[in-house]
Amino acid sequence: MRAPGDAGPAAESRPARTAGRWEAAALLLITLLAAALRLYRLPEVPPGLHYDEAFNGVSARSLLEDGTPRIFFADDMGEEPLAISLVAVALALLGEEAWIIRLVSAVAGVLTVPLAWWLARGIFCRALPALATALVLAILYWHVTFSRIGMEPIFVPLTATLAFAALLHGLRDAGARRGRRQLPALLLAGLALGGSLYTYKAGYFVPVLAAAFVAYAALLERGFLRRNGQGLLLAAAVALLVAAPLLAYFAAHPDHFLQRPASVALSTRANAPQDALPAMVSNLPEVLGMFFVRGDANPRSNLPGRPILDPFLALLFVAGLARAVAHFRQPREMLPVLWLAVMVVPTLITTDAPHFGRAIGAPPAVAALCAGGLAALRTWVAALGRRLSGVGPGILRGATAALLGLGLAFSGFLTARDYFQAWAQSGDLFFAYDEGLAGIAHYVDGLPTDEAVYLTPTPADHYTLQFLLQRQLASFDGRAGHVFPPPHRAATQVIILAEDEASLPALQSARPDGSVTWTLDDRYGRPYAVAYHLPPRPDPAPAPPHAVQAALGAGAGLLGYALDAEVAAPGDVVHVILYWQALEPMEADYTVFAHLLGENNPEGGGPVWAGHDSQPDTGHYPTSAWQPGEVILDVHPLAIPAGAPPGQYTLEAGLYLLATMERLPAWQATGERLPGDAVVLGTLQVTIEEEEP
């Protein structure tokens, strides 16, 4: 029987339950704020669809089509599978819209926020700094930006936060000898640690951080390994089991593992290996400065130059760092410092520092340090209040809470303003997110389906175009040739003026009957692209100045050629423009040879004095892409040697298969096979100008 006034265990737990409800409600509101910042106007901001985002979309679509799970995607310099696999699920459920690719990242970013609360609960063991950690991460500009990009880096903080939140709670329970609660947490920690390798290259550092934390705890906390050794081995075994398929793949394909890191690592970019250390030392001020002074300059990843921390968060961060260092004997308190040190290494040892994408594992640590700083400031102010007379502790605590709340609100306002106004309206995003190509795809999809459409000079297999286009598009490089449609077929040629200034005037000269039907400017008002419509006619291409009429195999005809100079001197470069016509579809990609022949060349031991071999249009319009009836203008430069004697030289051309070096049979219009399967084009006069006395 209870004594009078004894409310019993149920009553004693009522305040704890009430506090728990308030904490849950606060966490829900913070998560909703995170969702608002990551989902608001997601179909519009960022604009367009960046190449790497589109790669994830194209790869996800391919995954859905063949139904075969993949451990690694070797294209695009290698991509880990987690993000692409989740994008495939989203596309299957919600449809193949560009913003769905980004929705997967946004959801990952939102989920990281409550996980950050769980992580901070394990670090601080108190509600306020745990909620503050979640709130700072929710409003952190860096994390908001990457949560809205349809790429894989945002999964690094997600898996890292889950791994260490579970690990800390598993270890805490182990210390309290509650083994039944330890097991699920440590299993989850191992799953997330192994899963971090499937996210992004920066995720490879998450297990490194785990090893560093365990080593630090074992060094400073007596009996740590004795109490937690079995649990840690269990987590490590699960992590290794999860990572095993990817590790086995890399063992079989080491080049896939090294390809992307080697392309940006200082050790491979430096002139010599010994230059890598000075390069890292040079990177160090840039990496440290990204928090307070100047951040990533890439407009895709940041408002160029914006530091990670605004002034208020910088104050909290410094205070939190000081607090953590002061508690260096407590491994949990030092975890955010270790985390930060390890996760900035990827940008420290690579080019283009500071690179926010490579350091993307660090935001949870930044948030935890800011939360620790907030707790430290409250403690320091409370201590100051006890020393001051005439100021009530309640008033001081209230004023402190109000100021800290206003500071966090100010930081949230800065994030929203800088992202949705300053950054979203920046003209730099037009190219940073391939907005122009997205506009071209939208325009092309609206053209009549029976009309041929060509693009120059961006290839049609650009991932942004691959994902967005709903119809067939051919592409060539107008700077090295041109393609005209088959007879009696209308066509539209889309020219990206920002890269190809030559095609539009050349096309207007060759086909004055055409007209400009569409234009696109970039965000600065500069012409970016134009569409030139060619009405159908029986002779869609201009006639060659020099007619030839020859056939090569069953698929190619050579109508003639043009020269940019009929007379040349030794040392000159003469451009031969071959006029091909596609007769039948060709499966193979043949190489064109163009030769300048004369008397025996003593250097080469034969009649060839100059030559140029390449696939048509320098490989941008290979023979396998030719459609029957098309006329392809194909430019080949012939560099005449300085020692070439004056005289009349012969021009010849033909096609061969590079793999076998076998030439395609060549016939005259009369049906007679040509010697050497080479079409004799005509002659070129080489003269030596006499010096004036």
Cβ–Cβ under 8 Å, residues 102 and 153? no
With a CB cutoff of 8 Å and minimum separation 6, the contacts of 274 are: none
Mind listing the pLDDT tens digit for each residue in 46-66? 999 999 999 999 999 999 999
| Calpha distance 167→161 (Å, rounded) | 10
| Calpha distance 297→356 (Å, rounded) | 9
Confidence of residue 175 (pLDDT cuts 50, 70, 90): very low
pLDDT at 54: 98
pLDDT at 13: 64
Going across the sheet that includes 474-475, the strands are 474-475, 452-456, 491-496, 527-534, 515-521
Query: What mean pLDDT, rounded, does the chain reach?
Result: 92
Give the domain ranges of the chain: 44-423, 434-534, 546-686
With a CB cutoff of 8 Å and minimum separation 6, the contacts of 166 are: 185, 186, 188, 189, 192
Determine what percent of the chain is predicted with pLDDT higher than 70.
Answer: 93
pLDDT at 397: 76
| Calpha distance 291→603 (Å, rounded) | 61
Radius of gyration of the chain (CA): 33
Confidence of residue 274 (pLDDT cuts 50, 70, 90): low
Residue 391 confidence (pLDDT) above 60? no
Asked which of 82-96, 388-402, 525-539 is least confident by mean pLDDT, the reply is 388-402
How many Cα atoms sit within 13 Å of 684 on the Cβ side?
A: 34
Q: Which of 336, 303, 302, 307 is nearest to 319 (CA)?
A: 336
Mind listing the pLDDT tens digit for each residue in 404-418? 999 999 999 999 999
Mind listing the pLDDT tens digit for each residue in 302-344? 999 999 999 999 999 999 999 999 999 999 999 999 999 999 9
| Calpha distance 655→653 (Å, rounded) | 7
Distances in Å between the Cα of 244 and the Cα atoms of 69, 71, 183, 191, 588 are: 15, 10, 21, 12, 40
pLDDT at 178: 52
Confidence of residue 386 (pLDDT cuts 50, 70, 90): low
Q: Kindly report the number of other CB atoms within 10 A of residue 46's CB atom.
A: 24
Asked which of 313-327, 394-408, 492-506 is least confident by mean pLDDT, the reply is 394-408
pTM summary value: 0.91
Cβ–Cβ under 8 Å, residues 608 and 601? yes
Confidence of residue 270 (pLDDT cuts 50, 70, 90): very low
Mind listing the pLDDT tens digit for each residue in 69-106? 899 999 988 999 999 999 999 999 999 999 999 999 99
Confidence of residue 390 (pLDDT cuts 50, 70, 90): low
Confidence of residue 273 (pLDDT cuts 50, 70, 90): low
Please compute the mean of the pLDDT values over residues 382-391 and round it to a whole number. Answer: 65
Mind listing the pLDDT tens digit for each residue in 597-645? 999 998 888 999 999 999 999 999 999 999 999 999 999 999 999 999 9
Cis bond upstream, residue 354 (ω within 30): yes
pLDDT at 584: 96
The larger pLDDT score, comparing residue 568 to residue 390, is at 568
Superfamily of domain 546-686: abc- transporter (atp binding component) like domain (2.70.50.60)
Q: Show the tokens assigned to 679.
A: 């079409």
Confidence of residue 363 (pLDDT cuts 50, 70, 90): very high
Q: How far is CA 269 from the centre of its chain?
A: 20
Question: How close are the terminal C-alpha atoms of the chain, in Å?
Answer: 130
Residue located via tokens 């002034």: 311
Confidence of residue 396 (pLDDT cuts 50, 70, 90): confident
If DSSP codes are grouped into helix, strand and coil, which group holds residue 178?
coil
If DSSP codes are grouped into helix, strand and coil, which group holds residue 493?
strand
pLDDT at 318: 97
